[in-house]
Structure 1
Amino acid sequence: MRKLAFGMNVTLDGYIAAPGDDLGWSGGEGPDSSPSAELFQWWSDRVEATGLALYGRKLWEAMSSHWPTADKRPGAAPAEIEFARRWRDMPKVVFSSTIDRVDWNTRLVTGDAVAEIARLRAGDGGPLDIGGATLAGAAMRAGLIDEYAVVTHPVLVGGGTPFFTALDNWVNLNLVETRTFPGGVVLTRYETRR
């Protein structure tokens, strides 16, 4: 069985996007800034270690609008070049009923997302990483998430898209890692207690 992890940048008040899908807070110490080199490397290494990434439509559109060609942009930093290559090479599945085409080592699933995630999780291969609030929320409610990587930024946005969805039952977790990054960003990683 493969391990399914959900990890994203999160505000201190629990949101992965501010109202209007604004992600400007997630870059570093202020709006429209970049994450620290250390945090960017952590995310890049996570992509490298992922056996298969599972994306909801919104996150897919955000990632695929930038990373496929980010390494070709003038002045691209070595870390950006590395991340772009890793992202393109990483196998991906996008779950959406509103788009009809995906590229860059990606397969589209238009049917029952929870059933497909359960099938993929039950198979062989490297770890699965899920991204996107709606898709991850469905997997959470179905009890499929094995690990949560919460990368908390020291900002309050007051609303938006929450990291956690409403659940019918408690989910007990074990803390397996904490790490501090520049700018007051803190990683807390938990495994689901089964």
Structure 2
Amino acid sequence: MRKLSYGMNVTLDGYIAAAGDDIGWSVPSDELFQFWTEQVRESGLSLYGRKLWETMSSYWPTGDQQPNATPAEIEFARLWRDMPKVVFSSTIDKVDWNTRLVTGDAVAEITRLRAEDGGPMDIGGATLAGAAMRAGLIDEYVLVTVPVLVGGGTPFFTALDNWVNLNPVETRTFPGGVLLTRYETRR
């Protein structure tokens, strides 16, 4: 069975995007960018909701070709393009860059993918991750908390039907007071 991890940058008040889908507060340091690159490198499959897919696919397919691209950005863009991805959406009809589109029941498909052999999977996007949380499919939560309060927007955690008990497994500090906390679901 594959492990499913949900991780994103999050504000101190719990948002992955401020009002208007603004993520300008989440510009990573070089060290944090390298952490996320390692996460991509270790993942066997990435699962995206539509909004996060649109954000990622608007830049990273050609991120390595930008005139001011750093070596780290070039590496990330290449890893991202090559990584197998699944996008869950009923409103788009085409995806590219080693990606498959699922328009049906996301929880059923995530359950099926999780039961397969293979490397770990990561999930991104609050709505998609929320459905997986409520279904009890998330094995690990990775919160990279940025010391900023935005007062509203898209929350990292959505409403749950039941408590989810967690075990803390890692804490790490990045430049600028950014704090990584990683938890495993207690089963």
* Letter paired with 1:7: G
Please give the per-residue CA displacement for 1:6-48, whole angstroms capped at 9, x wherever unaligned.
0000000000000111101111xxxxxxx11000000001001
Aligned match of 1:52: 45
Aligned match of 2:13: 13
**For 1:108 and 1:169, how far apart are their aligned partners in 2?**
30
**Structural mapping, 1:28-43, within 5 Å:** 35-43=28-36
Aligned match of 1:2: 2
**For 1:89 and 1:178, how far apart are their aligned partners in 2?**
29
**For 1:166 and 1:54, how far apart are their aligned partners in 2?**
20
- Give the C-alpha shift of residue 75 in structure 1: 2.1
**Structural mapping, 1:15-164, within 5 Å:** 15-27=15-27, 35-164=28-157
Aligned match of 1:172: 165
**For 1:51 and 1:45, how far apart are their aligned partners in 2?**
12
Helix, strand or coil: the match of 2:104? coil
- TM value normalised by structure 1: 0.96
- Give the C-alpha shift of residue 168 in structure 1: 1.2
- Give the C-alpha shift of residue 183 in structure 1: 0.5
Please give the per-residue CA displacement for 1:96-136, whole angstroms capped at 9, x wherever unaligned.
00000000000000000000000000111000100000000
* Letter paired with 1:9: N
Helix, strand or coil: the match of 2:69? coil
Aligned match of 1:189: 182
**For 1:73 and 1:114, how far apart are their aligned partners in 2?**
37
* Letter paired with 1:43: W
- Give the C-alpha shift of residue 80 in structure 1: 0.3
- TM value normalised by structure 2: 0.99
Unaligned runs of 5+ in 1: 28-34
- Give the C-alpha shift of residue 76 in structure 1: 1.0
Please give the per-residue CA displacement for 1:33-78, whole angstroms capped at 9, x wherever unaligned.
xx11000000001001000000000000000000000101112110
**For 1:142 and 1:75, how far apart are their aligned partners in 2?**
42
* Letter paired with 1:20: G
**For 1:5 and 1:192, how far apart are their aligned partners in 2?**
10
* Letter paired with 1:61: E
**For 1:165 and 1:138, how far apart are their aligned partners in 2?**
9
